[in-house]
Structure 1
């Protein structure tokens, strides 16, 4: 059984539940860290520890998921995070700084391990031809979880304090682990070993957008050789994360300045409009046909559009124009996420985990650096200037990738899948049966 069926939808729902807990925790843990440490520096240190562990876990997750079943990695990550949050909920009243730091480390590493395993397992769960549709479902679900998590944090904390918020987060991880245990989805590509044995070069050169002519220029510390364009995409993804940090840091300041009496309502409206845009991106991309829809060019153009839309959102627009800009940013955000993930998933099975491990490292480091740099910049510069400058860096990176693609003199196309079928030609017909859902 393969494709996007009822079992996969159930797994996506369970992933959405754990994502909701993560975004609820993002608010609750930050506020709780301030209560424990009493300083903004303490909050920053806890967040830096969380992001730092996520950064370090990237290459480790890529290596581990190449040796251990991805489903096992995800279940262990869920259970570890569940244990951490339940412990914090039980001892919130007497929490010490060391406990807060330990929880932040578990959350940072666990989140990276889970998502590296999940994203690299999608082709095995639904088949190569349905991977883009599956990625779209995950993006839409995550967007809804983002809005729900942010919006419900204040009421939950007001109702039961931090212990209730932490308990809800722990329960969300337990739900995710339970669904994985019950459904037991296949997360490994059965054809990967056979393909590697029959064509040893396929796993290294096959991920290039134009076949064997692709130059291989990136040798990672674990010995994998990757095409230059894939490394360029991953680098651009890291720059994009750096740019995204700027609007995440600046948005609360703009909310307080624009609607000082209702800053939470301002942010809720913004993120709801953004979530609507991601849904529209999924609806559009699921109807796209042809491998060129999932190539490097589509990703680079999406980064440009996202940078322009997020910058426009800080121009002091009327509320209806602001909502349109937020929706456009969400559309571009969803577009780049789906295209980027689908492109990396076209690589052979044994290479995918390492690709996503490297990607997680790039994204975590970009976002951490961007958060610190944007916070310092906002002390001296207006929000529009900071956001425009950071997103301008992302545009420059995207234009550089587009120039490289133009210089190559041929269209950037996604490769044939590891099973030998064309990447994503349709979303309704599968040429390879992949075991069901979740990674």
Structure 2
């Protein structure tokens, strides 16, 4: 790869990093605004919880499909133009909700959900896997940390403002603002300029890509363990996302919606701080530090959520949810930075696999955890599902330590 000499690399990298951070923040704000508003809108139109479940299943299915064909897609259509196109596609998908009458919208909403889920996941895969071509190595950790912080902020503001917009201007105002956020994100992506002249890698076939990734993971057992823990962590995430309204009802039946807003806002503040801590710790550190920091983040996050759901007083729940947010921010930044440290040939398949793990795990988790809340308390459900990644972490630590000791003994004369 040859460095482009049109402008200094540091200047270009800094500008690219700022554009990506703002684009991701705006995009995630739109995604959460869209998720809350569309779910509410579907229930308002259909008056059916079953149809809402179908809508959410279509959205998750779109994300799973994106993870499966994301590799050939970005091998052929890499670059900023594709990412901007995905933002514009999300804007176009919402347009029928402004032009069709409500009676005709219900039949197209599952297709809209599938398309948005598809574009959301493709955008995340493309941006994360190509970020090293736009941001210099020394700025990568800081950029990932700010992306995580911006995503957490966008998630909370998107969730909170959707209700305000619906109350003041109706669903049409939410969809119009949502279309605007996606167009703005596309405009922020287009000025990106690569640090290097990169030749797009030829797609070798999906099975060949996955086979190379599998071989790479066999040579990096700690990274493989990180992926397994990440998969189990999505089950815990599904459990606490389903459990937020239930916990809020336990804490204050009369003001449950307000309590849930406080919990989400404080969690986001913790995640913001956690991302900044991860940025400070990971600078000038190797891949082993990233893996260890990810595992530490999982411990903080899962233990924080377990303790949050044991509380019946709001101030205690807020105290522990900050702890969970810290771990969430630390683990997310460490995981993304670790995946981006892989060579070009493995980075795209790795992010596709991560998306598949997260979407499939979260989708399955949403289906599995629901029945538990019918017979168990929220505290018991969270102990079970957030206990899974903690248990896996202990098992993997013991196993990796045992494997390392055997290797040392076998090489000792």
TM-score (norm 2): 0.87
- After TM superposition, the structure 1 stretch with the greater mean CA deviation from structure 2, 59-68 or 385-394, is 59-68
Q: CA offsets per residue over residues 5-64 of structure 1, 9 Å max, x none?
A: 244213311221121111111111111111222211110111011101101210211232
Q: What's the CA shift for 1:92?
A: 5.5
CA contact (8 A) 1:139 1:334 kept: yes
Q: What's the CA shift for 1:363?
A: 0.3
Q: Distance in 2 between matches of 1:83 and 1:347?
A: 34
Partner of 2:247: 254
Matches within 5 A, 1:267-346: 267-288=260-281, 289-291=284-286, 294-346=289-341
Q: What's the CA shift for 1:357?
A: 0.5
Partner of 1:184: 192
Q: Distance in 2 between matches of 1:188 and 1:240?
A: 36
Q: 1:395 aligns with which of 386, 390, 397?
A: 390
Q: Distance in 2 between matches of 1:222 and 1:163?
A: 47
TM-score (norm 1): 0.82
Q: Distance in 1 between matches of 2:362 and 2:294?
A: 19
Q: Distance in 1 between matches of 2:172 and 2:315?
A: 38
Establish whether residue 145 from structure 1 lines up as the match of residue 190 from structure 2: no
Q: Distance in 2 between matches of 1:227 and 1:62?
A: 17
Q: CA offsets per residue over residues 373-423 of structure 1, 9 Å max, x none?
A: 11121112111111110011111222233223323438xxxxxxxxxxxxx
Q: Distance in 1 between matches of 2:27 and 2:278?
A: 25
CA contact (8 A) 1:69 1:187 kept: no
Q: 1:385 to 1:21 in 2, by over 3 A?
A: same
Report the number of matched residues.
386
Establish whether residue 27 from structure 1 lines up as the match of residue 36 from structure 2: yes
Q: What's the CA shift for 1:87?
A: 2.0
Q: 1:162 aligns with which of 171, 177, 196?
A: 171
- After TM superposition, the structure 1 stretch with the greater mean CA deviation from structure 2, 184-193 or 355-364, is 184-193
Establish whether residue 233 from structure 1 lines up as the match of residue 226 from structure 2: yes
Higher relative contact order (CA 8 A, sep 6+): 1
Partner of 1:266: 259
Q: 1:11 to 1:344 in 2, by over 3 A?
A: closer
Matches within 5 A, 1:114-133: 114-133=123-142
Q: 1:37 aligns with which of 37, 42, 46?
A: 46
Q: 1:296 to 1:11 in 2, by over 3 A?
A: closer
CA contact (8 A) 2:304 2:321 kept: yes
- After TM superposition, the structure 1 stretch with the greater mean CA deviation from structure 2, 315-324 or 263-272, is 315-324
Q: Distance in 2 between matches of 1:382 and 1:187?
A: 53
Q: Which has the higher helix share?
A: 2
Q: What's the CA shift for 1:188?
A: 7.0
Partner of 1:69: helix, strand, or coil? Answer: coil
Q: 1:159 to 1:280 in 2, by over 3 A?
A: same
Partner of 1:66: helix, strand, or coil? Answer: helix
Q: 1:189 to 1:264 in 2, by over 3 A?
A: farther
Root-mean-square deviation (Å): 2.3
Q: What's the CA shift for 1:97?
A: 2.9
Partner of 2:365: 370
Structure 2: 5+ residue stretches without partners: 1-8, 406-413
Q: 1:325 to 1:189 in 2, by over 3 A?
A: farther
Q: CA offsets per residue over residues 56-89 of structure 1, 9 Å max, x none?
A: 2102112321232132331221111110112223
Q: 1:131 to 1:301 in 2, by over 3 A?
A: same
Q: Distance in 2 between matches of 1:166 and 1:188?
A: 38
CA contact (8 A) 1:189 1:349 kept: no
